[in-house]
Structure 1
Amino acid sequence: MFSQEQLSATTARDALLVWQTPELTGINRIPPRATLWPYASTADAVADRAPQRKLLDGQWKFKLVPTVEATPRDFMAVSTSDADWATVQVPGLWTMQGFGKPIYTNWKTAFTPAKPPFVPKENETGLYRVQFEVPADWSGKRIVLGFGGVECGCYSVWIDGVAIGLGKDSRLPSEFDVTPYVKAGGKHTLAVQVIRWADTTYIEDQDHWRQAGISRSVYLYATPKTYIHDVFAKATWDVVRGVGKLGVEARVNELPEKGWTVSVRLLDGAGKELLAEPLKGEVPHGLEGHNRPREPIADVTGEVPGALPWSHETPTLYTLVVTLRDKAGNEIDATRTRIGFKTVEIKNRELLINGKMVYIKGVNRHDHHDRTGKVLSREDYLKEIAVLKAHNFNAVRCSHYSNDPLWLDLCDEYGLLVIDEADIETHHHYAMLPHDTRYAFAFLDRCMRMCVRDRNHASIYMWSLGNESGYGPNQDAAAGWLRHADPTRPLHCEGAICKANSDWDRGHAATDVINPMYPSIDSIVDWAKTTKDWRPFIMCEYSHAMGNSNGSLADYWAAIEAHHGLQGGYIWELFDHGLVQKGKSGQERWAYGGDFDEVQHDTNFCCDGLIWPDRTPHPAMQECKRLFQPIAIGADDAANLRFTVRSKYDFITSGHVKIMWTLTVDGKEVSKGELERLDLKPDERRTIALNAKLPPVARGQEVHVNFTLIDTRDVPLVGKDKVMGFVQHAVPVTASLPAVRINRLAAKLSLQDGADVIRVTGGESDVMLDRKTGRLASWRVCGVELLTAGPLGHLWRAPTDNDGIRAWDYKKGIADWRARKALPRWTDAGLDHVVHEVTSITAAARADGAVVITTALAHRGGDVAAAVKDTQELVILADGVLAFSHVFDVPTELNDLPRLGVVAQLPTGFDAMEWLGHGPGESYIDRHIGTPVGRYSSAIRERYVPYIMPQEHGNIFGLRWIAVRRADGVGILASADGLIEGKATLVSDETLTKSWHTDEFTLGNTPWLHLDVRQRGLGTASCGPDTLERYKIHAGQYRLSYRLAALAKADDANAVHRALLG
């Protein structure tokens, strides 16, 4: 035992500074164990009835002091009054309850100087007190106090003023035997001192909010004096014979007398026994050779022929009930845990689950809630799993620490493959701490305790030794322990193969997979073609999902599925880690680094997820869903409607998948049907022919066949008859119908070529072009204003996070970062404040009555000499149509532009849009496979995508035409000559660029209409490879042609578009 003086000492002369001593990982903690609760009888364990446990969660008294030394010496005493202390919720973080503040940094330690193992004297310390009562029926029992997790550097515990113990790991339980210090039926005072920074801070250096407080449940439980301490169930699946194999190690706390036994029962979900008789084993007793004490572990083994295997597709679980009996056969203790039969192997560059190579369609996941930080409920977890299952994910990496056992329980139940990761990240001291002997046991301790706690979970298929911690003997020591303690699972250690991604075929002692971060597509393909390594390639992080991101995800998966050894990976990451905060306007927003006035922070780099903090999916999730869907349909002969359906399931057949099909012409459905139900085995293929006739079409019309995949099962958390994916194929057709014609009244046009304005009138049309700007100043039809500012060359887009992280100061940044990011190059070239110079402008009437206005412009960044030349031809036709043609010449100095196109502005009231192109969500050149071509409609306001850092959004790739209308149906059509990109929006690029939060602007009422040759692809360069070269806008000549036409209420936009094309 230790004293308060030892815990509160301020100098080495006084006592050991426990919070700055990495060799010390805990005091008086009981050995680690699985998450088990004691039951009074086998019957109670079978029924999960009345476990001998009591939660101490609820309202606790709390006081925050600025330093460890400021802790009152008697704060833990029973006699101390806490009447004037605050009240906080436990579990709960004080940084989310009005005390101190959360701090976000990516890899830098949150304080300076950062010299392991020392921490600053200014070190917030939280003091907690609560009164609790021990159940009266626990008399004569052993009583344990447990903390599920405490976000901190170090915490110490007292009961009634007596020091109980100390823990240092934030995300694993610390349990203490408090039997001598409490009384059954007695009331006691529990006091906890939580020190925010400690030697452990340097090995918990994860990319997330640095919080503080008691983050997981606090509890008591009671056992008999001789009790089951731990159970390890090795539940494997014999792939050849199709049977379950069960080996159970039940550890008892002591060596009892001869004749004590352990029995094991196994029950299915309905409570049916799977074993004809319980498996039994004797608890060792006495001494073995040379008077050495035996391990008090009872080994029980057997086969379970009636068992079914566990997988992510069939998460079949069984309840294992273990009972300890004395030599007279009396039940002394009982416990239960859920298990699943699963075998993991690595052979021939493939990781096999139950004998099958499974592509890892995974995501990295932190614990996060926008209002409670790292404190989550069962409902929160279920929402996450529902989103992942609905989007066809099959795997999660617990980045970068052991998650709450409840999360693992739910992954077991609903079927997610889990990498369980030790709470180790030394990012700021990457190459140092893996070799630091002072931290050697901490590395081992965290891996050991993670494994012992979690190894009964069926969902866990791999252990990870931590994240971004370099590689050294400390990892090898932990790897050796894990291999011995649990030989049923392979190991994952990114640092072992990293070495700046220069040598992936290294580190065999610590990792059984090649698991780099953010490799390029070319590099993984090259590895697959040239390596002789036997290990599979599973990216631990890739496709960084920061803001409007995940470009080229389809290109990654094309490479993965084409090359043996590439087996998928984990997208970074699931959540945007925004925290709810009221902005200056009083409106709630999601805050990021720096919004809490932190001195050191990494701005919005924490907002890099596939879903918003409230669990709403980003648009990129549709790309994931499409790529990860379990049915593929290839076009054998699309012209004759012949296709091949392939099952991409790993274990189950596809009979529950209903496949509906439609044929569309220009996005309009013309026929539909349902395929016969195909009960395909995994990887089985079936050729089908649609029972349909191709419709007759006019020149230029497009035919698509669309397959919709519907899961007819009632899938837990997802529902019944939900769409699980789609496939779309273009169908080549020969035109047999005459071109669409629409009678538009021609009128004699009048040209007025003035010094300042060129005006063309005729019939119901009135066009005015400003000579100074080279753009239309007005366009009226029937007295209705359709444009208040006509098309003008536009090179800028509000930067995405992949273009460059705006909040980072690139002028002071590392040169390498400036070279790798597009944004600093663009701002250096002045593209964020382009000026438009009119070099010449002419207007003339044509023989056919049309008026042609030719304008030469130069678009340049401020006073930068290099300019994009824009030769614009506007033909005003006699029927009132405006035909634009632009020839853009992009110089080599402006290679790799943000976008290349034009922008126009419409009057107030034009608030609805319709289009033919990819949809319904936003789409980009390198992220559109999840958005099929179709005819869609939306309010313009609904096209806004509220990325936490405002940025480019809402684009439409493969745009054929776009129409914007008023409520009365009057509108304007932009009809493209070929495929372009574009959008209508209620917020300008300028506003988005200068705004750092969503509450800093409101959507307007006057739409901007963008028509682009192209936007630069999205890529993943916020943390990973830049946009692929083929998705960039390089130097060269580009053409953009489109027609603008007025729409009456009765006009069908597509019919007008077809008529304009002729």
Structure 2
Amino acid sequence: MTLDTIDRADAGSRDDDAAFDAARIADPRFVRENRRPAHSDHRWFRSAEEAADGRSGYEQSLSGRWKIHYAKNPAAAPAGFFDPGYDCESWDDIPVPAHIQLHGYDRPQYVNVQYPWDGVEEISPGQVPERYNPVASYVKSFVLDRPLETGETVSVSFLGAESAIAVWLNGRYLGYATDSFTPSEFDVTDALVEGENKLAAQVFKFSSGSWLEDQDFFRFSGLFRDVVLSRRPVVHVEDIRVDVDLAPGNQVADVTLRVALRGDGRVRARIDGVGELEHRGDGGFGIRLQNPLLWSPEHPALYDVEIEVRDGDGALVEVIMQRVGVRRFAIEDGLLSLNGRRVVFLGVNRHEFGLAGRVQTAAEIESDILLLKAAGVNAVRTSHYPNSTAFYHLADRHGLMVIDEMNLESHGVWDRIRKLGAPIDEAVPGDRPEWLPALLDRAASMYERDKNHPSIVMWSCGNESYGGTNLRDVAAYFRDVDTRPVHYEGVHWDPRHEETTDVVSQMYTPAAEVEEFLREHREKPFILCEYAHAMGNSFGAVDEYIELAYREPLFQGGFIWDFADQAIALTDRYGEEYFGYGGDFGDAPNDGEFCGNGIFFTDHTPTPKLQEVAYVYQGLRIRIDDDAMTVHNRLMATSSAAYRCVVTLAREGEVLRQAEVETDIAAGETGTVALPLAVPAAPGEYTIDVSFRLRSATAWAPEGHEVAREQRVVRVGSPPAVVAAPAPELVRGAHNIGVRGAGFSVLFSTLYGGLASYRFGMTSDGGRELLTSMPRPHFWHAPTANERGWEAPFEDGQWLLASRYGRVRDPLTTTRVETDETSVTVTLSYELPTRPATTCDVAYRVDGAGRVEVTQTLQLVDGLPSLPEFGMLLTTLPEFRRLRWYGDGPEECYVDRRGGARLGVYDRDVATELTPYLRPQEAGSRTGVRWAEVTDGRGAGLRVESPEGMEFSALPWTPDEVENALHHTELPPIHRTVLRPALMRRGVGGDDSWGARTLAQYHLPTSGDLEFRFAFRGV
């Protein structure tokens, strides 16, 4: 499929002088009108000095303040506003780039699969809503920054206009374009006038192309990328194509440049530090490189090619700086390979999204890339549209493999086929010929702009749009023009044209099912273009996927969904700021907080999930034995010698020794290195930490940044025996049982059934009360997004009832009291309102020092649902807000997300412990906690202990309060500190967020007796 074929297939082209007809936006074949052909994204300068400075005298930015008129549909848009005599001065001002919905017009709307008009207007594919289709009419006045020179032409490029744009200059219609995410460029030369020029544009929120733009994102519109005026001198390079042929063995590379030159002139090209490229005629230049520097994510080497363009008189008219990466990405021996080495994609899907929506500066994009590099990510899929061109230049420079995805998703139509049983011929684009021009246009616009970026290793035909002949033809186009593999996941659902994709691609398939699939299907490499749906408190058991990728050659990794939460900053009626999600803008239909899937928050600060991402994605896998460590180097091009290896010995959080050891384990190899220190013989719990760190700063991290880590915990001897204090005094009352000793008193109520008071301290009034309510057995937490996805609250809701309403029947007669030489034990038996009914016994053993050892025993009965957690809820004073613990950290962790955590002693403020996921949910817990303290500013408070390790959280709110809040600003004022020691909480899961359950090994048992022991005491 050639570009000529695409142009012939485009029924939208008309004569340049034709007037624009807004009714045609509802024609799927009306793709573009008078738009300039797509070309490489190179920039041209007037001199080498300009090129070095990065400011081109051939470019004039038209970004900034524009005039805007908003209309709710095309019928209400102002007629003739583009005429020079039409006065637009009274219109509002708006910045460009920007989404109009974030500047007071229309409203943001978040939908995932649903089309935004679904159920609001009944339209068929290709048609557009009539009543609600916001139109933004823009006007910008400008004066050329210098007079036109002889032979110069000028064009205007709208780098992002969502979803369709019509353009006029000085009343003259220039053209029309669709495809929100690639440039729409129009020639303006003949419409320019001396002095002030009036540029006008009309941007339609919905066009026929919107049926192809049903991505999982906020629905915006407007000019959301820069607008640039570009001059072309009389002799000009219109397009550059870079081809690199790296021979097997990687010792020789042929670099070829093909230059499309307009005008009578000549071109010279040279590689900085290497030499001149040989002119081979027909715009071709070439050079052979011996022992070239290779581009890879670990070492993104780039060659600078300087291209000089001179006119017929020999005068310099253009200088172009083109960066070239020498690398070979291909399917070799049945595997995806980079420079001959098997690839494992440690990837992330990335929407362009930040605090200004999809409007991002180059600096913000670079910041995103550096964050990903620092976390060990080596690949990005541009989900699900071409990104701003700055992204690709930065991916080249910093080293990310990119799957470049064209702007296509029609999930809302596909669902009708997949879930509602509609016939295949309803698919969009499917086999319908009216959609082929738009698809091929989008494919060509992406390819021509991005083709020279070494970071791009695969082309993607789009996302979640089923299958059909149209997508087959798009894949054929990519293969006609390029050698990179082609990706498309939809073949998994519509296998009629398996040739559409060069890889098997699936989404959210559990790791065990991937392994099972590959036992029988060995035809193509397998990737997960989306996996580990990181919605809310999620990202559990992802190590299952990574270990499979290094065990099964055909499984070559995947791309986490996704990079950052999509949300919009709002202020509530009380002046409190929060991030809004679907439904917070009066938008209907909407998909709620399903936009909160990031390993980073909306402001691109890391979520606790990033701790696990960095661990499972690290390039060095370490096993620590008694006297040595074994390192598997999973990197593609870097020896372990590139990093400092620091080994640290600590005892219960206190560092005892630290030493460095030299390693030199080649990429792809495994080696064993002796440990430079040994565990002492003295009793105690020790940790050995191995940390590989950068020897020097890089663009993405400072010197000393940790790139890989592992920890081993070693226990020597037995814990020291507790020195028994004198037995406490037992006081039997009519309705209470008292236990007291030096500096403490405990009161159990036999009237209400529970621990009514725990006072601690040598004060005149008998000590400070440390409990603000009766502790109670607890089996529930605020459901996570994933638990709501598989309807866990419906299945498990009786454990909520058990937590709230479990009772001690007739506590006056059933409360048991036992004494021994050192303690008093009070046992309560709770009836739980479960079906079938069961009981939970709680024994409080109080010793003479005021330490209360709690033993909970839950009788599990066949037929009970899975437990969200098993532990106890205690509430204490709100001033006890300093949390210090010895356990896993520093970030929150759960039984299926603790690989990246390390045993140590950590400090936090309780007020910050509820992780600010878009919607409040279970968060802030830690695994492996031996002890935890919550204290006030003077160090007084409560200590909870479990020598064998427990799960523990300290929050300012109860699970009920967390569950009831839709946003963090809705949480009540802080009145208590809530402690929840637990034997275990169910893992967070995360294979997907709409039905995938936590893996079985991370559930609490469902039969037999569960026993949990911990202790608490005042400090």
Q: Name the TM-score, length of structure 1 as normaliser.
A: 0.89
The offset of 1:52, in angstroms, is 1.1
Show structure 2 runs of 5+ residues with no match: 1-13, 415-426, 762-766
CA–CA distance in structure 1, aligned partners of residues 217 and 646 of structure 2:
43
Q: Establish whether residue 596 from structure 1 lines up as the match of residue 582 from structure 2.
A: no
The offset of 1:590, in angstroms, is 0.4
Instruction: In structure 1, give the amino acid aligned to 2:129.
Output: P
The offset of 1:82, in angstroms, is 1.0
Aligned to 2:143: 133
Residue 955 (structure 1) aligned to one of 925, 928, 937: 925
CA–CA distance in structure 2, aligned partners of residues 790 and 963 of structure 1:
19
The worse-fitting range, judged by mean Cα deviation, of 982-991 and 465-474 is 982-991
Aligned to 2:857: 887
- Could you say if the C-alpha distance between residues 744 and 1033 of structure 1 is closer, same or farther in structure 2, counting changes exceeding 3 Å? closer
Aligned to 1:821: 791
Residue 691 (structure 2) aligned to one of 708, 722, 730: 708
The offset of 1:328, in angstroms, is 6.7
Q: Establish whether residue 857 from structure 1 lines up as the match of residue 830 from structure 2.
A: yes
Aligned to 1:362: 347
8 A contact 2:250–2:292 mirrored in 1: no
Give deviations 1:985-1025, integer Å, cap 9, x for gaps. Answer: 11111111000011112562521111112111101141463
Aligned to 1:353: 338
The worse-fitting range, judged by mean Cα deviation, of 197-206 and 655-664 is 655-664
Q: Establish whether residue 690 from structure 1 lines up as the match of residue 670 from structure 2.
A: no
The offset of 1:401, in angstroms, is 0.3
Aligned to 1:1030: 1001
Residue 567 (structure 1) aligned to one of 549, 556, 578: 556
Aligned to 2:417: none
Q: Counterparts of 1:597-746 in structure 2 under 5 Å?
A: 597-635=586-624, 638-639=625-626, 641-675=627-661, 677-698=662-683, 701-731=684-714, 733-734=716-717, 740-741=720-721, 743=723, 745-746=725-726
8 A contact 2:354–2:604 mirrored in 1: no
Runs of 4 or more, structure 1, over 6 Å off, are 1-5
Q: Establish whether residue 904 from structure 1 lines up as the match of residue 893 from structure 2.
A: no
Aligned to 1:519: 509
- Could you say if the C-alpha distance between residues 328 and 547 of structure 1 is closer, same or farther in structure 2, counting changes exceeding 3 Å? same
CA–CA distance in structure 2, aligned partners of residues 558 and 667 of structure 1:
30
Give deviations 1:887-928, integer Å, cap 9, x for gaps. Answer: 112333332121111111112322222222211111100000
8 A contact 1:19–1:153 mirrored in 2: no
Aligned to 1:470: 466
Aligned to 2:268: 263
Instruction: In structure 2, give the amino acid aligned to 1:424.
Output: L
Q: Matched residue of 1:802: which SS?
A: helix
- Could you say if the C-alpha distance between residues 327 and 909 of structure 1 is closer, same or farther in structure 2, counting changes exceeding 3 Å? closer
Aligned to 2:967: 997
Residue 362 (structure 2) aligned to one of 378, 384, 394: 378
Aligned to 1:7: 20
Q: Matched residue of 2:168: which SS?
A: strand
Instruction: In structure 2, give the amino acid aligned to 1:481.
Output: Y
Q: Matched residue of 1:779: which SS?
A: strand
CA–CA distance in structure 2, aligned partners of residues 688 and 1015 of structure 1:
37
CA–CA distance in structure 2, aligned partners of residues 5 and 760 of structure 1:
94
The offset of 1:747, in angstroms, is 4.1
8 A contact 1:916–1:961 mirrored in 2: yes
Aligned to 1:425: 409
Aligned to 2:87: 81
CA–CA distance in structure 2, aligned partners of residues 246 and 25 of structure 1:
35
Q: Matched residue of 1:789: which SS?
A: coil
The worse-fitting range, judged by mean Cα deviation, of 156-165 and 982-991 is 982-991
Aligned to 1:53: 59
Q: Counterparts of 1:201-220 in structure 2 under 5 Å?
A: 201-220=210-229
Instruction: In structure 1, give the amino acid aligned to 2:1000.
Output: E
Give deviations 1:861-891, integer Å, cap 9, x for gaps. Answer: xxx6434420222222233322221111233
The offset of 1:204, in angstroms, is 0.6
The worse-fitting range, judged by mean Cα deviation, of 987-996 and 329-338 is 329-338
Identity percentage of aligned residues: 28
CA–CA distance in structure 1, aligned partners of residues 151 and 915 of structure 2:
58
- Could you say if the C-alpha distance between residues 1027 and 729 of structure 1 is closer, same or farther in structure 2, counting changes exceeding 3 Å? same
CA–CA distance in structure 2, aligned partners of residues 35 and 821 of structure 1:
48
Residue 574 (structure 2) aligned to one of 585, 606, 609: 585
Residue 729 (structure 2) aligned to one of 749, 752, 759: 749
8 A contact 2:860–2:1010 mirrored in 1: no
8 A contact 1:901–1:1040 mirrored in 2: no
Q: Establish whether residue 393 from structure 1 lines up as the match of residue 377 from structure 2.
A: yes
The offset of 1:828, in angstroms, is 7.1
CA–CA distance in structure 1, aligned partners of residues 921 and 756 of structure 2:
28
Instruction: In structure 2, give the amino acid aligned to 1:779.
Output: Y
CA–CA distance in structure 1, aligned partners of residues 715 and 846 of structure 2:
34
The offset of 1:568, in angstroms, is 1.0
Residue 34 (structure 2) aligned to one of 28, 38, 51: 28
CA–CA distance in structure 2, aligned partners of residues 838 and 796 of structure 1:
19
8 A contact 1:8–1:69 mirrored in 2: no
Aligned to 1:510: 500
The worse-fitting range, judged by mean Cα deviation, of 641-650 and 187-196 is 641-650
Aligned to 1:116: 125
Residue 478 (structure 2) aligned to one of 479, 482, 499: 482
Aligned to 1:1010: 980
- Could you say if the C-alpha distance between residues 195 and 705 of structure 1 is closer, same or farther in structure 2, counting changes exceeding 3 Å? same
CA–CA distance in structure 2, aligned partners of residues 589 and 46 of structure 1:
43
CA–CA distance in structure 2, aligned partners of residues 787 and 47 of structure 1:
66
Q: Matched residue of 1:314: which SS?
A: coil
Q: Matched residue of 1:788: which SS?
A: coil
Q: Counterparts of 1:106-505 in structure 2 under 5 Å?
A: 106-111=112-117, 112-122=121-131, 123-183=133-193, 186-253=195-262, 261-267=266-272, 272=273, 274-275=274-275, 277-283=276-282, 298-305=283-290, 307-324=292-309, 333-370=318-355, 372-430=356-414, 431-487=427-483, 489-499=484-494
Instruction: In structure 1, give the amino acid aligned to 2:244.
Output: A
Instruction: In structure 2, give the amino acid aligned to 1:644.
Output: T
The worse-fitting range, judged by mean Cα deviation, of 475-484 and 930-939 is 930-939
The offset of 1:261, in angstroms, is 4.7
8 A contact 2:349–2:562 mirrored in 1: yes
Aligned to 1:816: none
Aligned to 2:900: 930
8 A contact 1:464–1:492 mirrored in 2: yes
Give deviations 1:161-191, integer Å, cap 9, x for gaps. Answer: 11000011100001112211114x5421000
- Could you say if the C-alpha distance between residues 299 and 117 of structure 1 is closer, same or farther in structure 2, counting changes exceeding 3 Å? same
Residue 534 (structure 2) aligned to one of 533, 545, 548: 545
- Count residues with an aligned counterpart: 981
8 A contact 1:670–1:695 mirrored in 2: no
Q: Name the TM-score, length of structure 2 as normaliser.
A: 0.92
Q: Matched residue of 1:7: which SS?
A: coil
RMSD of aligned Cα (Å): 2.3
8 A contact 1:881–1:1043 mirrored in 2: no
Show structure 1 runs of 5+ residues with no match: 10-16, 284-297, 806-819, 1049-1062
- Could you say if the C-alpha distance between residues 1023 and 543 of structure 1 is closer, same or farther in structure 2, counting changes exceeding 3 Å? farther
CA–CA distance in structure 1, aligned partners of residues 49 and 922 of structure 2:
60
Q: Establish whether residue 771 from structure 1 lines up as the match of residue 750 from structure 2.
A: yes
CA–CA distance in structure 2, aligned partners of residues 667 and 608 of structure 1:
33
CA–CA distance in structure 2, aligned partners of residues 463 and 537 of structure 1:
16
CA–CA distance in structure 2, aligned partners of residues 871 and 680 of structure 1:
55
- Could you say if the C-alpha distance between residues 871 and 674 of structure 1 is closer, same or farther in structure 2, counting changes exceeding 3 Å? same
The offset of 1:374, in angstroms, is 1.1
Give deviations 1:757-777, integer Å, cap 9, x for gaps. Answer: 332234433211233543211
Aligned to 1:290: none
CA–CA distance in structure 2, aligned partners of residues 693 and 93 of structure 1:
60
